Amino acid sequence: MFVLFAVCVGIGIVAGMRTTLAPTAVSWAAYLGWLNLGDSWLAFLGAVYTPWILSLCLAGELIGDKLSFTPSRKLPGPFAARLVSGAICGLALGYAGGGALVGALVGALGGIVGAVIGTLGGHAFRARLAAAFKRDFPAALIEDAIALAGAFSIVLLATA
DSSP 73-120: TTSHHHHHHHHHHHHHHHHHHHHHHHIIIIIHHHHHHHHHHHHHHHHH
Residue-level pLDDT at 99: 80
Angle at the Cα of 55 (from 84 to 150), degrees rounded to 5?
Answer: 65
Residues 22-49 have a mean pLDDT of 95
Question: Distance between CA 45 and CA 54 in Å, rounded?
Answer: 9
Report pLDDT digits (tens) over 110-146.
999 999 999 999 999 999 999 999 999 999 999 999 9
Does this model's pTM top 0.75? My answer is yes
- Contacts of residue 142, defined as CB under 8 A and 6 or more positions apart, other chains included, come to 129
For residue 44, what is the DSSP state? G
Report pLDDT digits (tens) over 79-115.
999 999 999 999 999 999 878 889 899 999 999 999 9
Residue-level pLDDT at 19: 97
Sequence spans of domains, the chain: 2-159
